[in-house]
Amino acid sequence: LTAAIYLGRYRRRVLLLDAGKSRAMQIPESHNHPGFAGITGKELLEKLRRQAERYGATLRPGEVIQLSKLSQCFVGTTNGATVHAMRVLLATGITDQVPDVAGIDEAVKQGTIRYCPVCDGYEAMDQTIGVYGTYPDALEKARFLRTYSQNVTILPLEPPDDRSAAIEAGITIAAAAPFEFKTSSKGIAVTLSTGETLAFDALYPTLGCRVHSALAQRLGARCTDLGLLVVDDHQQTTVEGLYAAGDVVSDLHQLCVGESHAAIAATAIHNALPPVFR
Ligand SMILES: Cc1cc2nc3c(=O)[nH]c(=O)nc-3n(C[C@H](O)[C@H](O)[C@H](O)COP(=O)(O)OP(=O)(O)OC[C@H]3O[C@@H](n4cnc5c(N)ncnc54)[C@H](O)[C@@H]3O)c2cc1C
């Protein structure tokens, strides 16, 4: 949407095809987006949509299931239509791996389950926090969360061999793996395989994610080991004319990061295309 705003203002014809599953829709209220004391993800998306349309962008629901490259342009196939474009910007994001918790959507809405301490660690100030996942990643997230709370407990999938780094950082490690999660308006209760139950105000899963880079990979674009698209200073992938922005590029999953990528990519795309003199 940010790239569509920029490209519309550069007087380019823009088509935005969106499968409609933005992670931003899950944001209960963001407090770290500059300029907004607090804004829900849905509200922000709506503002961006309206702004993109004001500058002439066409927004269409639909999933691109195939992308190919001809000599002069790209061809995108959706269910039912074929689209040609001189340049393509992928902002296809990621999907979080989620824990097996009944009522998880409601828990995310209430802030009981959170994915990203960079986004909302501040709001967990002095709360009792659980971090659930594979040990090295959980340790990294737990250390970050110590900025905000003295009560951080790792709930590891497998017990770690070496606990020294956690002990040094003042982080507790649960005695056994979690067996069951129960959310309520007050927080989340985690029952361990030993039968012991621990109560948390907030739980941060660290179970990884699926990166939506397959369309680009099929065109030969290079990826990191995590599946993130490799881009140059102009957000261009290793496929000429194919650009990428946001979570599909960076594991600093932040609105501002994606928006900055989009501004850079849109400007590079405009400068690379034949001019539109008035
Ligand atoms: C619970 C939660 C809270 C968060 N809080 C914050 C916060 O406070 N501050 C902050 O900065 N960030 C926050 N984030 C992170 C933020 O939402 C993401 O970093 C941001 O949405 C990434 O933007 P994106 O455009 O890369 O991907 P997304 O916003 O996820 O959008 C990707 C879009 O591409 C579409 N798509 C994928 N594949 C295709 C295809 N083949 N064809 C067509 N469309 C496709 C998807 O359906 C989706 O609509 C939060 C995330 C979550 C889940």
Residue nearest to atom 20 of ligand 1 (CA): 255
Separation in Å, CA 151 to CA 127, 130, 139, 147: 7, 8, 14, 11
What is the distance in A from the centroid of ligand 1 to the CA of 114? 14
274: which DSSP letter? P
Residue 164, φ and ψ in degrees, nearest 5: -60, -40
Classified as helix, coil or strand, 50 is helix
pTM over cut 0.85: yes
Residue with tokens 């691109």: 64
Under a CB-based contact definition with an 8 Å cutoff, are residues 9 and 55 in contact? yes
Find the residues whose C-beta lies inside 6 A of ligand 1. 17-24, 26-27, 30, 32-33, 63-64, 91-93, 108, 115-116, 119-120, 212, 215, 246-248, 253-256, 258
CA atoms within 13 A on the CB side of 126: 0
Strands (E), the chain: 15-18, 58-61, 64-69, 74-78, 81-85, 88-90, 94-96, 129-133, 152-156, 172-173, 178-184, 187-192, 197-200, 202-206, 209-211, 242-244
Tell me what pLDDT residue 105 has: 94
Both tokens of 46, joined, read: 């709506």
Low-confidence ranges of the chain (pLDDT < 70): none
115: which DSSP letter? S
b/e map of 171-180 (b: 16 or more CB within 10 Å)?
bbbbeeebee
What is the distance in A from the centroid of ligand 1 to the CA of 245? 11
Tell me what pLDDT residue 79 has: 86
Tell me what pLDDT residue 178 has: 94
